[in-house]
Structure 1
Amino acid sequence: MAFTVSDETLGTFVPIAVYWIYSGIYVILGDLENYRLHTKVEEDVKNIVSKRTVVKGVLVQQAFQIAVSLLLFAVISDDNGIAKPQPSLLVIAVQFLVAMVVLDTWQYFMHRYMHINKFLYKHIHSKHHTLVVPYAFGALYNHPLEGLLLDTIGGALSFLVSGMTPRTGIFFFSFATIKTVDDHCGLWLPGNILHVFFSNNSAYHDVHHQLYGSKYNFSQPFFVMWDKILGTYMPYSLEKRKEGGFEARPTRD
């Protein structure tokens, strides 16, 4: 009998593998000082949490993510053993777009509220902002409750509302993982195709991680529409530093 892995299992574990593999690539590229948004010295000095602690924190969040994902698939799956037919590419494209908008909407308002509410910021969201200089594998370094609310529940909602199949979910959540890691990578690499299609990028999100931008650029991980609609968009210019690399400087009056 051939060994097969279900779409539900792949949809749960493939995005986690993608997270660490893609982050690992950026760890290697992190020595390219001419493409960094902050120097390595700033990364070591400004961040008040160790990389070991960040890895542990991300693994805890991913454990919650696995549990919720398996529970969700167990609830919605059919037990008749008959695989559902896969939709057309056009339907999949529409489902991707719907899921992206749902995830962005959920995360914008939850993220913004965690900044507005002083209790939630102090005790929950501030953990993520201990990374003043973001780096790739710190993308999901959050308080476990924040990880559950923003990422895990947001992902479940985008999956359910869009109506995508578990097989489509493998690709969507892997893509969302790549995008989230890319936004936190701390690098501005030439030829990054994600920057061609998305204004929400590593420089855009870096602005939010700085003190002057903490009340702006809440949108994540795909579009910037809610920031622009609701007046929390902070424009910036990407300037070269004399010592090498780039800096995202705000241009807001």
Structure 2
Amino acid sequence: MASPSSDELLGTFVPIAVYWIYSGIYVMLGDLNQYRLHTKAEEETKNVVSKGTVVKGVLVQQAFQVAVSLLLFTFMSGDSGVLLPQPSFPVIILQFVVAMVVVDTWQYFMHRFMHINKFLYKHIHSKHHSLVVPYAFGALYNHPLEGLILDTIGGVLSFLISGMTPRTAIFFFSFATIKTVDDHCGLWLPGNLLHVFFNNNSAYHDIHHQLYGTKYNFSQPFFITWDKILGTHMPYSLEKRKEGGFEARPIKKID
């Protein structure tokens, strides 16, 4: 067994730092009522867990994932300290795309299964849905087992199938973390480039978090392809509230 390389360690810890830095930026921006998808009153009444509990839950999950990742790297590492050469930039872009497709595919089917299976939803996935009104640092508020299944295993599969190096993985998983936080930020900010390039965004995922939307919009974190292919896509309209901010409303009839 070899010790994880510096790139493997960075790939484990940098996305965690990115999670708290990026979500912390949203906290520092304040309430931004003119851009919220729900009012502050809705957040306080609909969410059944405190923000302190959410922070603790995310830290527990991240600690669990670090332990699993380090154990995995310890057994998978080759010659300690030997850095793999970086491929050309076009190859890295291709690896990013492959990794995104792998993550989306894995998370769609696992996520949907956790909704279909009543036992898994009640005892595992419902923890995430206790945040009916999502906010940035609650993006990874999950049961540790869900974090292992969706995030850790999905991340390992995307890493192995895409063939990316540990150094490339630092950037990919940091980007995936930013995307996940952004999807849960509960805001529709003008000029958000992630909304320009991805239809899977904060409003799209907000539909899924509502009590009427748990049969729809399972896709995460990048594309909405599987929802469209398998009939779980719920389009929405984004309308201004008279109290300020926006509301994502489903367009199709809810079953």
* TM-score normalised by the chain length of structure 1: 0.96
Contact kept? 1:227, 1:233, Cα under 8 Å: yes
Cα distance in 1 for partners of 2:53, 2:221 equals 24
% identical aligned pairs: 84
Matches within 5 A, 1:60-99: 60-79=60-79, 81-99=81-99
Q: Secondary structure at the match of 1:213?
A: coil
Matches within 5 A, 1:1-253: 6-79=6-79, 81-253=81-253
1:159 is matched by which residue type in structure 2? F
Contact kept? 1:30, 1:187, Cα under 8 Å: no
Contact kept? 2:6, 2:81, Cα under 8 Å: no
1:107 CA displacement: 0.3
Contact kept? 1:186, 1:202, Cα under 8 Å: yes
**What do the CA deviations read for 1:24-65 (whole angstroms, capped 9, x no partner)?**
011122411000001111111110001011011100110111
Cα distance in 2 for partners of 1:51, 1:145 equals 21
Aligned-pair RMSD on alpha carbons?
Answer: 1.0
Contact kept? 1:48, 1:130, Cα under 8 Å: yes
**What do the CA deviations read for 1:100-136 (whole angstroms, capped 9, x no partner)?**
0000000000000000011111111101000000000
Cα distance in 1 for partners of 2:72, 2:191 equals 37
Runs of 5+ consecutive residues of structure 2 not aligned to the other structure = none
Runs of 5+ consecutive residues of structure 1 not aligned to the other structure = none
1:182 CA displacement: 0.1
Cα distance in 2 for partners of 1:217, 1:67 equals 31
Q: Secondary structure at the match of 1:72?
A: helix
Contact kept? 2:216, 2:227, Cα under 8 Å: yes
Q: Secondary structure at the match of 1:124?
A: helix
Deviates further, 82-91 or 94-103: 82-91
Deviates further, 76-85 or 224-233: 76-85
2:127 is matched by which residue type in structure 1? K
Cα distance in 2 for partners of 1:209, 1:64 equals 25
1:80 CA displacement: 5.4
2:31 is matched by which residue type in structure 1? D
Contact kept? 1:188, 1:202, Cα under 8 Å: yes
Q: Secondary structure at the match of 1:185?
A: coil
Cα distance in 2 for partners of 1:145, 1:83 equals 32
Contact kept? 2:235, 2:250, Cα under 8 Å: yes
Cα distance in 2 for partners of 1:252, 1:137 equals 30
Cα distance in 1 for partners of 2:228, 2:136 equals 26
